[in-house]
Amino acid sequence: MSFDRLAPHYRWMEAVLAGRKLQRCRMAWVDEVRDCRRVLIAGVGQGRFLEMAVREMRGSEFVCVDASAAMLDRARVVAPHTGECERVRFIHATLPDWKPERADFDLIVTHFFLDCFPEPMLSQVIARLADAATPDARWLLSDFQIPARGAARLRARVVLALAYAFFRITTRLPAKRLVAPDDALTRNGFVLQQRRVADWGLLHSDVWKRTAGRA
């Protein structure tokens, strides 16, 4: 899987296809995590969340991991623009292979990232990221979902089928369909705290929290 080919086009593609919907999902719960000090962003992409988070979370340090060198190059451009580049570290690595040096992150961020993985790889990625988290860590998650019924469900299935077909061709995406991460997060000690749904139920933004004694 490599997003290098899409890196020069990803920002305008998102703007044309989704407007600001995805960015609103990324930033939906930032007020809830301002007190976090060590932030791990997995699948940082072009740094859309990072760009805003470094401004909103003044006391935080950020470690950004991505498998695409081209995406990381674009994310690196973001940090100097915020005037806070000394608080940001970039790592070119692939999950679930990458292993963090220390389990000291009190916030894990995976925006539109976990949908890239099929099982059992998804569970392995979540377990690896959970290994990097503190016992009371929070997890910000934005992604797609399929509503339970009706026209919204049909619409979501069509949208996601087209999206997965496109990304499998252009990036060799390993996933063929969407797999919800909820069970894997729960197995790793995280409990859903808040969820906001948007765009006919196609999008959701979550706050998960690891509960003491469940890690």
Q: What is the CATH number of the domain that holds 198?
A: 3.40.50.150
pLDDT in tens, 100-126: 988 999 999 999 999 999 999 999 999
The reply to whether 39 falls in a domain is yes
> Is residue 193 assigned to a domain?
yes
Is the pLDDT at 197 greater than 90? The verdict is: yes
> What is the model's pTM?
0.95
pLDDT-based confidence at 41, cuts 50/70/90?
very high
Residue 45 included in any domain: yes
Note whether residue 5 is domain-resident.
no
The answer to whether the bond into 96 is cis (omega within 30° of 0) is yes
Are 197 and 146 in contact by the 8 Å Cβ rule? The answer is no
Residue 3 included in any domain: no
Name the band, by pLDDT with cuts 50, 70 and 90, for residue 98: very high
The total domain count for the chain is 1
pLDDT of residue 214: 52
Contacts 24+ apart (CB under 8 A), 178-182: 178/115, 178/144, 178/145, 178/146, 179/115, 179/117, 179/118, 179/119, 179/122, 180/145, 181/114, 181/122, 181/126, 181/141, 181/143
> What is d(CA 134, CA 104) in angstroms, rounded to the nearest whole number?
5
Q: Could you tell me the residue range of the domain that residue 49 belongs to?
A: 10-210
Distance of alpha carbon 50 from alpha carbon 52, whole angstroms: 5
> pLDDT digit string (tens) for 177-189?
999 999 999 999 9
Q: How confident is the model at residue 83 (pLDDT cuts 50, 70, 90)?
A: low
Do the domain assignments include residue 2?
A: no
Banded pLDDT at 212 (limits 50, 70, 90): low
Burial tier of 24 (Cβ tally within 10 Å: 0-12, 13-18, 19+): middle
Residue 4 lies in a domain: no
Average pLDDT across the chain, whole number:
94
